Amino acid sequence: MIVSRAPCRISLAGGGTDLEPYVNSYGGCVLSYTINHYAFCKIEPSISMWEDKWVFSASDLNQTVELTDIEIDAPYKGDCAISLNAYLYFLKNFDVPISPISITTRCDAVPGSGLGSSSALTVAVVSALAKYHNVPLSDYDVAAVAFDIERVMCNLPGGKQDQFASAFGGCNFIEFKGTDVIVNPLRLSQSIRNRLEMNFILFYTGTARNEHVIEDNMQRLAQNSESVDLTHKIKENCFAFKDALLTGSFHDMDTLLEENWQLKKDLSSSITTDKIEEMYQFGIQHGMKAGKLCGAGGGGHILFSCDQFADMSNWLQNIAKLKERYPKARIIPYGFVNNGVETWSQ
C-alpha cells in the first residue's frame, strides 16, 4: 500500500497573476506558505473474487466509483474525477500496466476553502501513483502533471501556483515566465516565522468560494485593459510583500495585505459578498488590522492580521465576539510547514 500527503497553502500575495491570458503576456508571481492541513491519498491493488474492478473513493465526500473496464482516451467527468483522471493520465503517458487498483482520497480542508485543496489533492494522487508504478518524477514534474490533470482533464479553472506550492512546500516566491515556473524558497528566520503564525488568523466564513470567480477574472483579463492594469499592481504588491516578509516588516505587511484586498475587489465585483464585507468590517472594528480572502474569492477563508500579544485579554475578547456574531464561521487552527508532498509505503 502506498500513502501520500500534500499540504494546502495560504496565499499571501500575487494571486491572479498566474491566470491566463495575463501570465502568458506579462508573467506573474505569487507568494504562499504551506500549512498543516493536508490532502491524503492511499493506493493499493483492488482484489475481487469475480471480476476485475477499479475502485475510486473520496472518503470525506462520501463518493465512490467502481469500474469493471477502463477507457484510457476519455477524460472522466463526475465523482472522484481527480483520482480517476490521474490514473488515466498515467496509463496514457507513462505506459503503466492496466491492472485493478483502489485509490482513496480525503482532505482536511473543505472544498472551496480557498486554500488550494483541490490542487493539493491532485499532487497527492500524482505522487502516490508515481511511487506505486515506479515512475521517477521530480517535484517540478509532479506539479506539472498535476496541473495538466486538474486544468486540462478535469477542466477546473485556475492558475499554476497551487500545484507548485503543494509539491515543493514551505514559503515560496513562485515566478511564472512564459511556460517556465521558477520556485524560489524564502529562508525566513525562526522569529519571523513564529510571529507570522501568531499574527495571521485563518477565519472560515462558513461558505465555499464562488467557483465562477476564476472564470470571470480570466474573461476580464482577456477583454479589459483596466483589469490588466490592476493585475500589474497586484504583481507589484507581491514583490513588495516578499521584501516586507524577508525583513520582518509586519506594519508594511498589514498595509500590503489591505492594498491587495482592495485591488482584488476592484478587479471583480464577484470577489466579495455583502456577508463577507460585513465579517471583514466587524473584524477590523474588533482588533484585526487588515485582511483578505484566501484564494479566488466569493467565500472560503479570510486571512486576518492582528497583534495577539499587544493586549492578550482584549484579543481573546475580540475573538469571542467574532465567534458569537458568526456562529457558522470559525477560527481555524493551523501551523506553517516546510515540507511539500510526502509519499511512503505502508
- CA 22/CA 19 separation, integer angstroms: 6
- The closest alpha carbon to 294, from 321, 327, 272, belongs to 272
Alpha-carbon distances, residue 118 vs 38, 49, 144, 158 (angstroms)? 11, 34, 14, 11
Neighbours of 313 (CB within 10 A): 7
Task: List the grid coordinates of 173.
Answer: 516566491
Query: In the numeric block, which cell numbers belong to residue 127?
Result: 505522487
Query: Looking at residue 269, what DSSP letter applies?
Result: G
Q: How far apart are CA 214 and CA 23, in angstroms?
A: 14
Q: Which of 18, 108, 148, 162 is catalytic?
A: 162
Q: Which of 163, 105, 158, 152 is nearest to 129 (CA)?
A: 105
Cis status of the peptide bond prior to 97, with omega within 30 of 0: no
CA 156 to mean position of chain CA atoms: 13
52 is catalytic: no
Catalytic residues: 162
